[in-house]
Structure 1
Amino acid sequence: MTMKHDPPPAAVTRGEAATVRAATSRRVLDPVARASEVLFGLIMVLTFTLSLAAAGAGRADVPAVLLGALGCNLAWAIIDAAMYLMGVRGERRLAISTIQAIRGAESPEVGRAIVAENIPPAVLPALTTSDLDRIRLHLSRLPPETLETRFNREDYLAALGVFLLVFLCLFPVAAPFLLFADLTLALRLSNIVAVAMLFLTGFTFGRQVGRPWRGGFLMVAIGVALVAVALALGG
């Protein structure tokens, strides 16, 4: 008869450490969190491309405008990626501070109170005192390697994903200006592509809350309104 054995303590603690570090990371491709990145990148490009029509520019002005859009999106993509890493570091420091506070609590009651403060209000009523105490004990026994703020491979890959989300928004919108000599046609196709990308972004976001079509149309409306505001204020 084959007996099942629990994994050795060292393996368990390593698994717990990895789980906690993963929990304090942010999902780079989470539609809710990243929809704003795509929206921002598209707005950035549209303020450049639509300025061609607003200023009555000719075909000769297209390279300069596209180069400006490229540089602007590149800069903001780098900034966005850096801000992502700063956010990850901040979230981890906050998690470490909470764990240290639980470990240093004067009594189990104080520890449970700290745990309760960090649980979403919608979840807290479903937890009993025993549940809170079990969470407190679990966090108190986490291994030392859990309390690390160093970036890992997943963090850098996630930051690269943020960079690409913002930067790559440029190319589908700019492509018509490179493919068609007729500036009016290129501008119309560029706008169609931008609206389609806005809709797909909103549709993906809306699927998370069960309203994909509403999310798609709402994202288009928000994007168009924000571009109009940006152009009205000088881009």
Structure 2
Amino acid sequence: MDTATSAQQDQIEKREPILSMVDRVSELCFGLFMALTFVGAVKAVTAGEDAGRKMFLAALGCNLAWGLADAVMFLVRTLAVRAQRLTLALSVKRERNHAAAVQTLRDALPKSLEPLVEDTELERIRARLAAVSTLPSRARFVFDDFLGALGIFMLVVISTFPVALPFLVVADRTVALVISRVLTLVMLFGAGFALGRYTGFSAMKAGFAMTTVGIVLTVAIIALGG
């Protein structure tokens, strides 16, 4: 195997996921809460033999709309962040005063990291930016951005099914409601568990914490007439 092929394989292996674990868990929980809240609101006003189907379609339509809005805002946020970073890079590259360029980099650091980064390290970054032959004239989307937006849309939409599907397949609305809420809490526990493992926090504690949030939300929905 030649060096170029090896380098390409290393780059593929090190490629970061399009959506981080935090993004995936957040969007899944967002969809669950949206569907749960919507089902709680619609349950009181739906009646008739096809009430379950109406409730399912209403919840699905709600999450389709919110999934689309969330996906679009993901693209807006991604482009805005990329543009801000490009503006910073161009500003540093064009700055002739090295001290001023280093200060620009320091001003862009998060407050928590600023005391940990020395000016000598920022100077090395400035020098590398100055040595770059060309930088993009403006921020642009890349293919992975659209994959990320699609992933967000799908997560929000898919999260509708454990909440709303029981009303479509179970005739007894009371039983369907119990199944819906149990499935929701199970998924919330799984989401919290995964987030806990990702962040280094206790996975079980994170799972139960997320489940508790779901229970509190469910009680609130019931108290409000859901």
Q: Which TM-score band applies after superposition, normalised by the shorter structure? A: 0.7 to 0.9
- Within 5 Å, give how 1:1-235 maps onto structure 2: 28-51=18-41, 54=44, 57=47, 59-207=49-197, 208-229=199-220
C-alpha contact 1:47 1:231 (8 A) present in aligned 2: no
C-alpha contact 1:51 1:231 (8 A) present in aligned 2: no
Deviations 1:89-123, CA, capped at 9 Å, x for gaps: 10011001111221232411111111112233444
Once the two structures are TM-superposed, the CA of residue 78 in structure 1 deviates from its matched residue by 0.4
Gaps of 5+ in 2: 5-10
C-alpha contact 1:28 1:162 (8 A) present in aligned 2: no
Deviations 1:41-77, CA, capped at 9 Å, x for gaps: 1112112333465558455311111111111100000
- CA distance in 2 between counterparts of 1:62 and 1:200 reads 26
Deviations 1:169-191, CA, capped at 9 Å, x for gaps: 01122232233222222221111
Which residue type is aligned with residue 48 of structure 1?
F
**Greater displacement, 96-105 / 30-39:** 30-39
C-alpha contact 2:46 2:55 (8 A) present in aligned 1: no
Which residue type is aligned with residue 30 of structure 1?
S
- 1:15 matched to which residue of 2? none
C-alpha contact 1:78 1:163 (8 A) present in aligned 2: yes
Instruction: State the SS of the aligned residue for 2:50.
Output: helix
- CA distance in 2 between counterparts of 1:145 and 1:231 reads 55
- CA distance in 2 between counterparts of 1:149 and 1:230 reads 43
Corresponding pairs, count: 214
Gaps of 5+ in 1: 8-17
- CA distance in 1 between counterparts of 2:18 and 2:49 reads 38
Classify 1:234/1:102 alpha carbon distance in 2 versus 1 (closer, same or farther; 3 Å): farther
Which residue type is aligned with residue 112 of structure 1?
V
- CA distance in 1 between counterparts of 2:186 and 2:70 reads 23
- 1:10 matched to which residue of 2? none
Which residue type is aligned with residue 89 of structure 1?
L
Aligned-residue sequence identity (percent) comes to 35
C-alpha contact 2:44 2:225 (8 A) present in aligned 1: no
Which residue type is aligned with residue 128 of structure 2?
H
**Greater displacement, 197-206 / 207-216:** 207-216
Classify 1:137/1:234 alpha carbon distance in 2 versus 1 (closer, same or farther; 3 Å): farther
